[in-house]
Amino acid sequence: MESRIESLQTPCLLLDAGRMRSNIARLKKHLGSLGVPLRPHLKTGKSIDVARLLMAGPTGPATVSTLKEAEQFAAAGVRDILYAVGIAPTKLPRVLALRKSGVNLAVILDSPEQAEAVAAASRAANDPIPVLIEIDSDGHRAGIRPGDKLLVEVGNILHRGGAELRGVLTHAGGSYDRPGDDAHIIAAEQERAAAVQCAEQLRQAQLPCAVVSVGSTPTAHFARDLTGVTEVRAGVFVFMDLVMMGIGVCAVDDIALSVLATVIGHQRDKGLILVDAGWTAMSQDRGTARQAVDQGYGVVCDLNGKPYPDLIMSRANQEHGLLSLRANAKAELPELPVGTLVRILPNHACSTAAQFDRYHVVEKNLVTATWPRFSGW
Amino acid sequence: MESRIESLQTPCLLLDAGRMRSNIARLKKHLGSLGVPLRPHLKTGKSIDVARLLMAGPTGPATVSTLKEAEQFAAAGVRDILYAVGIAPTKLPRVLALRKSGVNLAVILDSPEQAEAVAAASRAANDPIPVLIEIDSDGHRAGIRPGDKLLVEVGNILHRGGAELRGVLTHAGGSYDRPGDDAHIIAAEQERAAAVQCAEQLRQAQLPCAVVSVGSTPTAHFARDLTGVTEVRAGVFVFMDLVMMGIGVCAVDDIALSVLATVIGHQRDKGLILVDAGWTAMSQDRGTARQAVDQGYGVVCDLNGKPYPDLIMSRANQEHGLLSLRANAKAELPELPVGTLVRILPNHACSTAAQFDRYHVVEKNLVTATWPRFSGW
């Protein structure tokens, strides 16, 4: 049943369905032109309704960041799932239970210790757990560096030990830090080249490597050639956010998520407007702090989603947001009386969405659906 | 049923019951010596189990930061509740519904617009909504400044308009920014003096002011005299955290909350240890970034809660935490093999607790209970 945005209690999370559909279509079209399938990362949405729009079909493929996601999406019928955070040995019983229920669940790892544990668990359960070895393509976080002989060592432990060595995976997380089309094109090629090089290294050692998995929202959009890659992962592209805008991956009108808030006060001599959305709503992500334009805790828009010039949430307490003009703004503070509704665009869609248990789906300023989302592990 | 910490899935939230009890006893003893009752802020715990340990009795008094908290605690029998975030007019129907159910629920405000709305709602419902006028005692956020004639104007709108003008309230939020006993003693007196001055201003205008409510965890602990004050509010004192430690309000051994995490990898040449707790677990609170000692996203302890020298979570991604030694550390990176369990102390107890839906209550390293907690609005 449709209702007006004005009837919602604040703060709450709005999802602009049209923008989301455009974001999904844009990436699918680009990857289609390169001939590589998408394995969408479902950690951004954590919603089966969002997942169904992202996946090629009802059973996947999909990427997740927690076993809770794997379990929730499996319960909704997804069958091809990659759990893309380095496996902790104590989590293997849950992995095996999901696999036993019929889910083709794969894990990732980057150390001999983890490989031994996965191989041992595979043997004990008589179920070869599929594994992608994580590659470090840009010094971002985890993974084995291309050329490191550790790769073949880990591959051998898995392949000889009873696991299924399925391939390699990398994530160009460093691409979030560099703005501009050229930087993203270079990052995408670096990501591809590292993964393909490692796949070759395994194959030359007579080890299998069927899957070469790469991805991040910037590199997925800016890849010009994906030769040797078998799948691309991306997550935040579905909603986009101010961090992605700040590095040139989207425009402000592409951002599909916003937090609806109500003005509850003013400190006029300080140029402050208070709203009832603090960090419990926006999250404390300050991902734009290191970018050319610092958006504080978010960009403030009117009820139609149009940004007020230079108005940002400059401070966030638990349930209070403080709106003000950015430093050196030319605009004047808008007159927003107590009770005014505003929409605030997030720095980071994943972290702002994580603060809520549902999406209010909006089409042309009408609320057309409520979609549950989950969190936890 | 008791179980060992090692049997928990990570990440999860541990609550050291002994430390919590000591924290509660400490503040109650101090306020008892000053003869002023505590109206504990339940936003930190968001748990009826925690609330029952904090409140003077099963019906309150209590402070909350959302109407969801008011509704949840009311359902558990709490009857004396202060909703201490400036009221949005659109929330008044929920306030009236709670009051109709038998809850003595009071609201706060600092503007004529809000006062008109509350007075009109009181008249329409034939239920005088109790109101505390918010005072700005330190330029922190919201409120009317002492001496501003707006105070009497707002008071008159409420008192003549059909609401119940119950008193004044202030929160010395600025006290979080200044370390040291002397700074807290001064902040506490400033908070008290501002509230009492405003109460006198109302009384001189022939307006009622039964309640004079002050509080923050630093000022509550360091107040030396509370003459004229009728109640003290505080929230984070129940768990304490690294921000409170950083300004000298507690010691590291007083911090009752920690996040249990598992080591999932290493980048040895960079001095990094990876764990399976990222910002979804720790939150993105960086409250110690502006303090003398920056604790990153948290201080890393062993399974017994003893900090590893100079080991902090220096970076947090969605499900990855990166542990490293702080800059200029004299200690060496501890050898923590894959699978090692660590406990990470939070910067800000309110925001880290908000990432979880339950507490695992720990007594002498045994898990003795699981307490649910809620979130949302």
- Residue ending a domain, among B208, B238, B268, is B238
Q: Which residue has the tokens 């990732």?
A: A108
Answer yes or no: do A317 and B173 touch at CB < 8 A: yes
Check whether residue B216 and residue B304 sit in a common domain.
Answer: no
B99 in Cβ contact with B123 (< 8 Å):
no
Neighbours of B97 (CB within 10 A): 14
Answer yes or no: do B338 and A113 touch at CB < 8 A: yes
Residue A246 included in any domain: no
Which of A63, A90, A148 is the mutation pick for testing B, counting most B CBs within 10 A?
A90
Q: Distance (Å, rounded) from C-alpha A5 to C-alpha A304? A: 10
Check whether residue B260 and residue B203 sit in a common domain.
Answer: no
Strand ranges of the sheet holding B104-109, from the earlier edge strand across to the other edge: B62-64, B80-83, B104-109, B130-135, B164-170, B211-214, B231-232
For A255-270, write each residue's pLDDT tens digit. 999 999 999 999 999 9
Distance of CA B328 to the CA centre of its chain: 33
Check whether residue A100 and residue A175 sit in a common domain.
Answer: yes
CATH code, domain with A51: 3.20.20.10
Residue B9 included in any domain: no
B360 shares contact with chain A (CB less than 8 Å) = no
Strand, coil or helix: what is A360?
Answer: strand
Check whether residue B192 and residue B321 sit in a common domain.
Answer: no
At A213 the pLDDT is: 98
Residue B10 included in any domain: no
Answer yes or no: do B65 and A113 touch at CB < 8 A: no
Answer yes or no: do A318 and B356 touch at CB < 8 A: no
- Domain membership of residue B90 as a residue range: 19-238
Residue A43 included in any domain: yes
Average pLDDT over residues A345-373: 97
Tell me, what amino acid is at A137? S
Answer yes or no: do A9 and B94 touch at CB < 8 A: yes
B48 in Cβ contact with B75 (< 8 Å):
no
Distance of CA B138 to the CA centre of its chain: 18
Residue B244 included in any domain: no
Instruction: Return the closest-CA partner of residue B127 out of B105, B143, B146, B152.
Output: B105
Structure tokens at A12: 């709450």
* Number of domains comprising chain A: 2
Check whether residue B146 and residue B207 sit in a common domain.
Answer: yes
Instruction: Return the closest-CA partner of residue B262 out of A82, A94, A45, A173.
Output: A94
Check whether residue B363 and residue B298 sit in a common domain.
Answer: yes
CATH code, domain with B280: 2.40.37.20
At A88 the pLDDT is: 98
Burial code of A232-252, b = ≥16 C-beta within 10 A, e = fewer? bbbbbbbbbbbbbbbbbbbee
A137 in Cβ contact with A190 (< 8 Å):
yes
Check whether residue B314 and residue B197 sit in a common domain.
Answer: no
Check whether residue B50 and residue B173 sit in a common domain.
Answer: yes
For B244-300, write each residue's pLDDT tens digit. 999 999 999 999 999 999 999 999 999 999 999 999 999 999 999 999 999 999 999
Instruction: Return the closest-CA partner of residue A215 out of A195, A244, A199, A198.
Output: A195
Chain B from 214 to 253: CB within 8 A of any A CB: none
For A64-106, write each residue's pLDDT tens digit. 999 999 999 999 999 999 999 999 999 999 999 999 999 999 9
Residue A8 included in any domain: no
Check whether residue B232 and residue B256 sit in a common domain.
Answer: no
Instruction: Return the closest-CA partner of residue A54 out of A39, A34, A36, A32.
Output: A39
Q: How far is A65 from chain B, CA to nearest CA, in Å?
A: 7
Q: How far is B111 from chain A, CA to nearest CA, in Å?
A: 7
Q: Distance (Å, rounded) from C-alpha A353 to C-alpha B83? A: 25
Check whether residue A133 and residue A229 sit in a common domain.
Answer: yes
Structure tokens at B17: 């019951």
Per-residue three-class SS string for B3-35: EEHHHCCCCEEEEEHHHHHHHHHHHHHHHHHHC
With contacts defined as CB-CB under 8 Å, which chain B residues touch A94? Answer: 9
Distant-in-sequence, close-in-space partners of B50: CB < 8 Å, separation ≥ 6: B20, B42, B44, B238, B359, B371, B373
Residue B245 included in any domain: no
Q: Which among A284, A286, A320 has CB closest to B141?
A: A320
Answer yes or no: do A318 and B173 touch at CB < 8 A: no
B68 shares contact with chain A (CB less than 8 Å) = no
For B78-107, write each residue's pLDDT tens digit. 999 999 999 999 999 999 999 999 999 999
Answer yes or no: do B322 and A276 touch at CB < 8 A: no
Check whether residue A223 and residue A285 sit in a common domain.
Answer: no
- Above pLDDT 70, what percent of chain A? 100
- Residue ending a domain, among B238, B266, B284, is B238
At A140 the pLDDT is: 87
Q: How far is A339 from chain B, CA to nearest CA, in Å?
A: 6
- Residue ending a domain, among A190, A216, A238, is A238
Q: Distance (Å, rounded) from C-alpha A170 to C-alpha A135? A: 5
Q: Distance (Å, rounded) from C-alpha A297 to C-alpha A11? A: 15
Check whether residue A222 and residue A263 sit in a common domain.
Answer: no
Average pLDDT over residues B112-140: 97
Question: Quick one: DSSP state of residue A256?
Answer: -
Chain B from 115 to 154: CB within 8 A of any A CB: 117, 136, 141-142
Answer yes or no: do B113 and A262 touch at CB < 8 A: no
Residue A366 included in any domain: yes
Answer yes or no: do B339 and A43 touch at CB < 8 A: no
A218 in Cβ contact with A247 (< 8 Å):
yes
